[in-house]
């Protein structure tokens, strides 16, 4: 609940309070399409103030109810209406702050996100709301609650405990100052990464090995090539450039994004989180943050990660030796692999030992074909249809809107913002915009956006995805379906409102469809001939699927351990720096030597929104593979299994305990067998 109420995934509530400025594009009517092309800086400022005024009216209304007359409807539902009102505006402004192409509007959005985040802290620490919920919890009605209502109240009370309502009023004021500081610093950290404009300029010799379309798109007037630090630029260069020195320089540059600003910010965030935890009586920030997760405490997570490390390391060492053996073919004296060599050597092994050419494979994954393929798979599994909204108002050229329907009824909306542009969010993510919620007029249509950075079409060639990109797209689309399939009555229980460990289950499970030949045949077609991906080529890809799987898993574990180290074992008030701690962990866990002068933690954006929660990726991977084993047995395109998964898992939000969701779908206790099988162990 702590994460839920502070997240950016709540929807807009339309009530009698919404009486002003209906010409403001940010204050739209229930289920209307958002008019992104009409946004102005003035509207952002105005909407922020109006919504905060409305939220204060909600608080007054809820507080005014006689405690003897409190009901779930006039207390819990109205609380949910209030949170939805505030968070929906935050969602949309937040999305614009990281994706809108207009510099001035983006700047205004970032400023108002900070205002709204601090106001949200104020709401979360409002004593009148706490007393209202506490009073309702003592009523006869509350004691008889069942199902989602009972869980909502229980989660709310846990949330208030974690917000410090066992503290004195003075201590809660101190807590608000700390939370406001964390909000400001976290937003600055993320904004600095998005604003990074560093690039590497390389010569013709240094770009040797890259395809002509890649080179043409980056050729400068001086005859050199500009390699920007986004996914479509960095990944192919690291795989294909024959210049070891250029790859090293790009790797170091990439590992130092925003380091000039974010090292200090990270240190400050960790200090504030430590203060917060100590104020609330927890031994560490990790123990506080994990308290309402499935793991419950940091010690459980350490046990989990150390256990996986011991099981995965032998496969990682085998992977390392395989790449080192390939390096020795060119350099017999080689005794180690450098980090900037891994993608290059891996690609060599793929081509030479598995006969898989990534440049050939991507010709079967034209972007529009992949989009239509993934929509077809979801249509088959979930018995829905998708229609593109022609001429829809969007925030940037190339963004597309699709409506998801059951029969003729629109039940979800998805925006796809797939290609890089200056100052845009530089990774891959699903941004929740409007949460599903039962209203007096029916059901609020859940709406979300996929923000990605795939290679864009040029005048000569269509846009292609590598197979890794396809897998990433399925991952993010898994988040999208989890969000828009929501059917929870309450906004704060809808969509991806689960614990960190469960949020990544639907996304990681859906990656498996990018590896199944039956599903690939729906869309993996050669861009020129229309030929379906040959079974022989697919078999080669599949045989290479676990190439470096141990190294990849070990890297994920290292990220999780670094996050946990910063929040559980690192003293931000001590003499050790975050870089010192990172090097120390690297020397214990990684198969690669630390590269002097690099500071990857400065662009590790998950340290903000997923602070002390990155372990959730590996934790949820165990459940994801176990759930997928049901599809493997019953058919990956089996509509009956798809509907069961839709109804029992991704539509539930946090209305049901996550472990109960897993057990019901599996029909048994979960285990790690499928997870280790997926790694080739």
pLDDT digits (tens, 9 = 90+) for 301-326: 999 999 999 999 999 999 999 999 99
d(C-alpha 497, C-alpha 669), whole Å: 23
Mean pLDDT for the stretch of residues 596-617: 94
Question: What gap in Å lies between CA 312 and CA 594, rounded to an integer?
Answer: 21
Tell me how far apart the alpha carbons of residues 304 and 287 are, in angstroms, rounded to a whole number. Answer: 15
Separation of CA 407 from chain center: 30
The H or E element that residue 402 is part of is: strand 400-406
Name the nearest CA neighbour of 564 among 357, 300, 193, 199.
Answer: 300
pLDDT in tens, 442-464: 999 999 999 999 888 888 889 99
Q: How far apart are CA 156 and CA 66, in angstroms?
A: 20
Predicted confidence at residue 610, as pLDDT, reads 86
Q: Are strands 385-388 and 225-228 parallel, antiparallel or unpaired?
A: unpaired
Region of 167 (left: φ > 0; alpha: ψ -120 to 50; beta: rest) is: beta
Q: What percent of the chain has pLDDT over 70?
A: 97
- For the chain, the structural domain boundaries read 2-124+126-162, 199-253, 363-543+617-678
Q: What is the DSSP letter of 649?
A: I
User: Which CATH superfamily, name and number, covers 2-124+126-162?
Assistant: Endopeptidase. Chain P; domain 1 (1.20.1050.40)
The residue count for the chain: 681
The residues that bridge with 414 in the sheet, in sequence order, are 402, 448
Region 528-537 average pLDDT: 97
Distances 382 to 202, 372, 409, 434, 628 between C-alpha atoms, Å: 48, 15, 14, 21, 15
What is the model's pLDDT at position 23? 83
Closest listed residue to residue 313, CA positions, set 551, 619, 588, 564: 551
Average pLDDT over residues 159-170: 92
Residue 419's pLDDT is 93
CA distances from 96 to 159, 229, 580 (A): 29, 21, 36
Q: Are 306 and 298 in contact (CB under 8 A)?
A: no
Compute the average pLDDT of residues 87-99. 95
- Asked whether the predicted pLDDT for residue 252 surpasses 60, the reply is yes
Angle at 510 between CA 509 and CA 513, to 5 degrees: 120
Residue 18, pLDDT > 50, answer no
DSSP label of 531: P
Sign of CA dihedral 485, 508, 417, 382: negative
Q: What is the DSSP secondary-structure string of 429-456?
A: EEEEEE--EEETTEEEPPEEEEE--PPP
- State the average pLDDT over residues 575-596: 97
Residues 38-53 have pLDDT tens digits of 999 999 999 999 999 9
Whether the Cβ atoms of residue 118 and residue 88 lie closer than 8 Å to each other: no
Q: Over the chain, what is the mean pLDDT?
A: 94
CB atoms under 10 Å from CB of 348, counted, come to 17
Buried b (16+ CB within 10 A) or exposed e, 423-451: bbbbbbbbbbbbbbbbbeeebbbbbbbbb
CA–CA dist 597, 613 (Å, integer): 27
Q: Using the predicted structure, report yes or no on whether residue 487 has a pLDDT greater than 70.
A: yes
> What would the pLDDT profile of 417-444 be if each residue is shown by its tens digit?
999 998 888 889 999 999 999 999 899 9
| CATH annotation of 363-543+617-678 | 1.10.1370.40
Token readout for 528 is 């020129």
- Short-list 663, 620, 664, 657, CA closest to 158: 657
> Does 22 score more than 80 pLDDT?
no
């Amino acid at each position: 609940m702590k994460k839920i109420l502070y997240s950016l995934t709540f929807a807009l509530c339309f009530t009698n309070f919404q009486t002003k400025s209906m010409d403001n594009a940010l204050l739209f009517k229930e289920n209307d399409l958002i008019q992104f092309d009409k946004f102005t800086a003035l509207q952002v400022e105005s909407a922020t103030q109006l919504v905060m005024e409305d939220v204060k009216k909600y608080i007054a209304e809820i507080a005014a109810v006689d405690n003897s007359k409190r009901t779930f409807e006039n207390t819990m539902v109205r609380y949910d209406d209030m949170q939805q009102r505030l968070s929906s505006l935050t969602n949309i402004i937040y999305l614009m702050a990281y994706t809108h192409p207009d510099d001035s509007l983006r700047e205004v959005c970032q400023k108002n996100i900070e205002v709204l985040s601090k106001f949200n802290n104020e709401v979360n620490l409002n004593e009148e709301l706490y007393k209202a919920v506490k009073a309702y919890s003592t009523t006869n009605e509350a004691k008889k609650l069942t199902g989602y209502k009972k869980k909502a109240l229980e989660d709310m009370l846990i949330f208030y405990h974690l917000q410090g309502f066992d503290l004195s009023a003075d201590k809660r004021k101190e807590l608000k100052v700390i939370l406001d500081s964390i909000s400001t610093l976290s937003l600055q950290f993320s904004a600095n990464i998005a604003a990074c404009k560093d690039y590497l300029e390389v010569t013709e010799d240094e770009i040797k090995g890259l395809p002509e379309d890649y080179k043409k798109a980056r050729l400068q007037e001086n005859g050199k090539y500009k390699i920007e630090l986004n996914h479509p630029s960095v990944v192919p260069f690291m795989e294909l450039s024959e210049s070891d020195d250029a790859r090293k320089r790009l790797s170091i540059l990439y590992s130092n994004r925003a380091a000039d600003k974010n090292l200090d910010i990270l240190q400050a965030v960790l200090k504030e989180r430590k203060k917060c935890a100590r104020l609330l009586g927890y031994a560490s920030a990790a123990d506080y943050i994990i308290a309402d997760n499935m793991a419950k405490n940091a010690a459980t997570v350490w046990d989990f990660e150390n256990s996986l490390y011991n099981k995965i390391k032998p496969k990682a060492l085998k992977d390392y030796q395989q790449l080192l053996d390939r390096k020795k073919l060119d350099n017999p004296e080689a005794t180690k692999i450098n980090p900037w060599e891994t993608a290059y050597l891996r690609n060599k092994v793929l081509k030479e030992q598995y006969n898989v050419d990534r440049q050939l494979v991507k010709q079967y994954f034209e972007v529009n074909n992949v989009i239509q393929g993934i929509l077809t798979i979801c249509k088959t599994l979930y018995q829905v249809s998708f229609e593109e909204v022609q001429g829809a108002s969007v925030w940037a050229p190339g963004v597309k809107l699709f409506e998801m329907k059951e029969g003729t009824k629109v039940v979800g909306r998805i925006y796809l913002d797939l290609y890089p542009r200056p100052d845009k969010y530089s990774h891959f993510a699903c941004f929740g915009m409007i949460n599903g919620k039962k209203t007096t007029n029916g059901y609020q249509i859940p709406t979300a956006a996929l923000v990605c950075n795939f290679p864009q079409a040029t005048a000569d060639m269509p846009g292609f995805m590598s197979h890794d990109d396809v897998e990433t797209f399925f991952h993010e689309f898994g988040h999208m379906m989890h969000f828009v399939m929501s059917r929870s009555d309450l906004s704060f229980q809808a969509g991806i409102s689960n614990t960190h460990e469960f949020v990544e289950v639907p996304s990681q499970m859906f990656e498996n469809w990018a590896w199944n030949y039956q599903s690939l045949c729906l869309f993996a077609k050669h861009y020129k001939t229309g030929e379906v991906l040959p079974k022989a080529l697919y078999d080669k890809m599949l045989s290479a699927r676990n190439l470096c799987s141990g190294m990849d898993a070990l890297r994920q574990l290292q990220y999780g351990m670094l996050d946990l180290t910063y929040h559980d074992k690192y003293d931000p008030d001590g003499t050790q720096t975050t870089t010192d701690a990172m090097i120390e962990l690297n020397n214990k866990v990684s198969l690669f030597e630390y590269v002097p002068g690099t500071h990857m933690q400065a662009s590790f954006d998950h340290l903000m929104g997923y602070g002390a929660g990155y372990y959730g990726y590996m934790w949820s991977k165990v459940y994801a593979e176990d759930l997928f084993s049901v599809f493997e047995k019953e058919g990956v395109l089996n509509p009956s299994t798809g509907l069961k998964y839709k109804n029992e898992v991704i539509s539930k939000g946090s209305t049901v305990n996550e472990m109960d969701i897993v057990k019901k779908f599996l029909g048994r206790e979960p285990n790690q067998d499928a997870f280790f099988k997926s790694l080739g162990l």
